[in-house]
Amino acid sequence: MEESPGWNATVLSRYPWIALAISVRSSYEEEIVPDHLLSEGKLVREEHHGFANNEYPAIRTFFAYYGLELPSIPMLAPEFQNPLFLKLFCQSLKNKGLTKIPPGLRGISQVFSFFIESVDAKLSEHLNFDPKSKLVPKAVEKLIEEMARRERTWLPREEAAAAVNSFLPRDGYENSLFRHMVSEGVLMSVLRITLLRSTFLTPTWISCRLPVPFFRIPPWVLSSRTKERVGVIAV
């Protein structure tokens, strides 16, 4: 759940016969789940391990949805336990117009690199920019530089948007590079909803993240300067 559950739990805690189940990515938990909800016993925390022990049924379902051919050998690598990884994997193949897995494509860093390239090729047609300019990889690298400089894995949404859109200035949000990178899953926004005066709710987009932590981005995506700053680990 990418909308903040804090206000939901706070409001519903007044009603003892109503229960609320929410799902929050572990990387977002500290940012969007108020500490007091756990310490006061208003939330019970259970960790879900994605598709663990169910990798093949998940792969079969995702591949069918994206119109992909199942490999002859089952793919049981640990990465396929992660629903987000599996989605990026399938979306990358679809963006490239492929129905089979190309040789050598494995591991989260390779898949993320392939995914970024596929989105760049798709958006170069949709937004009419030179595909050789590699704007999406450049925008991703810029965000990684800023995250590394601040020693955190996210950026305020407005700052992330300004950094991305500087590579392709356009009028309006609908035509912006930032909007399309969010739409394609290259960037993820977090929405926090604050409860004011017991009844008034105010939603605020607070941050932007990459779907893969920047320290697991493949080195060949980054410039030598960024590699030195980030200390990239290839996975």
pLDDT digits (tens, 9 = 90+) for 100-111: 888 777 666 677
- 141, 222 Cβ separation under 8 angstroms: yes
Under 8 Å CB-to-CB from 132, ≥6 apart: which residues? none
The torsion angles phi and psi of 177, rounded to 5 degrees, stand at -65, -40
pLDDT in tens, 121-150: 999 999 999 999 999 999 998 888 888 788
Tokens of 145: 């530089």
pLDDT at 26 over 50: yes
Give me the residues paired with residue 190 across strands: 207
pLDDT at 164 over 80: yes
The pLDDT assigned to 208 comes to 72
The pLDDT assigned to 198 comes to 46
The pLDDT assigned to 199 comes to 44
pLDDT band at 191; cut points 50, 70, 90: low
pLDDT at 34 over 50: yes
Most confidently modeled range among 129-143, 186-200, 207-221: 129-143
Q: List the beta strands (DSSP E) in the chain.
A: 155-156, 188-196, 200-209
The torsion angles phi and psi of 161, rounded to 5 degrees, stand at -65, -45
Burial of residue 136, with CB atoms counted within 10 A of its CB: 0-12 exposed, 13-18 middle, 19 or more buried: buried
The pLDDT assigned to 3 comes to 45
What is the pTM assigned to this prediction?
Answer: 0.66
Burial of residue 147, with CB atoms counted within 10 A of its CB: 0-12 exposed, 13-18 middle, 19 or more buried: buried
Return d(Cα 35, Cα 38) in angstroms, integer.
6
